[in-house]
A and B are shown apart, each in its own frame.
Chain A
Amino acid sequence: MLKTFSLGGIHPPENKFSAGKKIEALPVPSQVAIPVAQHIGAPAAPIVKKGDTVKVGTLIAKSTGFVSANIHSPVSGTVFKIDNIVDASGYRKPAIIIKVEGDEWEEGIDRSTALKKEISATSEEIIKAVADAGIVGMGGATFPSHVKLSVPPGKKCDVLILNAVECEPYLTADHQLMMEKGDEIMVGTQIIMKALKVDKAIIGIENNKPDAIQHMRSLAASYAGITIEPLKVQYPQGGEKQLIDACINRQIPSGKLPIEVGAVVQNVGTILAVYEAVQKNKPLFERVVTVTGKSLAKPSNFLARIGTPLNNLIDAAGGLPEDTGKVIGGGPMMGKALVSTDIPITKGSSGVLIMPDEEAKRKPMQNCIRCAKCTEVCPMGLEPFLLMTVSDKAVWDRAEEEHIMDCIECGSCSFTCPANRPLLDYIRLGKGKVGQIMRSRNK
């Protein structure tokens, strides 16, 4: 039997319309807007000013701490201004706006497509290269990657797990990357293995991508220490905790990180970025984005420069359909509803989902009938109905006692609730408040 995680889980309809669509390089836009906060942690500090000329790959904003990431120009041209723009959060945040002139790359970036298998960099050099290249978790969480690779003293990593699960319905970017860049991902995996000093890597792929499983398996045969683990299709298997549980049957204790159980998890897109950074000296300034939706004319997988307006991607996918009711950055389960299509894509943009109006609206909430389905599907073994109630009634000590902070916000509870109760909305509110209380207590 196929492995999967041990508690809860759901199986939302998949709708992978863009599956099998070749990754298409999107034309460079005429202007890009690069938010300085594209990662979890402190925003980067701009080091260019208005009027500066930049090339593709020029460092334009510097990491401001350990949990922060460099930002490089995805285009060549002139810095037009540094100003606040509306980003995916819906708030106005600082961004570097660049007018594009030509497509001139920094020297030193190896633009050839030849596979470079030889890994000459040492562990320290790899971690430095990853930090320099501004690589963050590209599955959507955008956690700076060099932090994960720097194993804290006293801890030991014995296995690297690659997240190729892509359990979000609709999204296909990682799937297509494996089909087209399998060898690069293999070398990237070995680079990370070297950085972490481990000899074992497991690539977890859900069983709804049999071609990717087969392809990666055949490639893995010629790379030492890499195995493929086909997994039962079950959401949210792409969650770090769930993936580690599924692949190696170890459960991370409450409030702890994967390194606690000797594992480091990286998304396959991130691994490709690592390969390019270490072997080709290429910073992270472009990524694969799935643009999809039921009424979209041409669901696609695009390779787009960071900062490209969403509108460009949607136009290339056939234009915004008449019946559009919601535009989601990411997948339907964990993605964010966007306030407009006039925002730039960032390092964490795994997909853009166009949802028809009829599906966009929520149904009115009814009384909880205590069917316990939310409890059954919760992958963290929590009781969402209870967390919603205590959050609604602002009983924060009880919320903490009931482990509200363990919630990974996968949305399985809200998805399942027959009474259409917005369980996760309330739990998020509760998490925010309880987090605040916990932080002030620790001060």
Chain B
Amino acid sequence: MADVAVVGFAQAPNVRATHGTTNGVEMLVPIFREVLDSTGLRTEDIGFWCSGSSDYLAGRAFSFIAAVDAIGAFPPINESHVEMDAAWALYEAWVKIRTGEVDTALVYGFGKSSAGDLRRTLALQLDPYTAAPLWPDSVSIAGLQARLGLDAGEWTEQDMAEVAARSRAAAGPGAQISGRVAAADLLAEPYLADPLRKHDCAPITDGAAVVVLASADRARELHERPAWITGLEHRIESGSIGARDLLRSPSTTAAAEAAGAADVEVAELHAPFTHQEIVLRRAIGLGEDVAINPSGGPLCGNPMFSAGLSRIGEAASRVMSGAARRVLAHATSGPALQQNLVCVMEGRS
């Protein structure tokens, strides 16, 4: 089956709130322009479009339809949408190229978290009959997971703070949060949802991202050094929080094994909470020598429904720039790492 590679990536600045509409058009138009310019493609050259977003975040039905306005989709386009993080839209596009029907695909995701109360909105992802009516919010559920790990001796609050400090130090200009800070100073802050402090939680972020995929023949035309996808797998776990071992992430482990995660130099992990990065590193089996989230990761900017796609774009960028040979990207969805995707990419000379 056809090889597929990432040949372009762009993302909107990760900000606390945009003035744009909930359909993402204002965030998407500039990054479509950027990624098309960088690849030399025009809108009409794209064989397949696929997006990831959430109506619940927008507070209206069919928000993704209005996002199509950002494309200028006339003549009509070959298009699809997942109500998930756009990393899964990338998965659908990857499959589409593998069928041989198309040789290029543009994948995008967007989310305006600032439009509502994100913690409460995400509570509505839970079982609607037994769990959601109790309104356990997303930070509190992550807090339960963190507490389990602390009590089991799997990690310490110091370990968690060090994850945050390292991420902020790595973060670049597009990140929402960055800068040098000592873990000890972070630990002096009050709890937000015991045992989580503010630094343990990804900031509420508006943003969007776009990735261009191409088949083997097209990829070589479009980029000097494409990021070849050598493995792309995802798995889901039970929706019942109580039925899962929250200290492990078997879906990540299975996805990583199937995707062939060994020997990567860089890993972009979609861990919205500090302790979840620790869970993910162990689940994938990443060694000390692997650079984790050199972009700063979701702790420095976590635009819902595009942050996972951004992880793939950030990791691919390091291959495309020649900074790395073999990289891994991870995306998550659902409460407490319920659903996980692993994408392994490499450069070829």
Binding between chains A and B: no
Interface residues of A (CB under 8 A from B): none
Interface residues of B (CB under 8 A from A): none
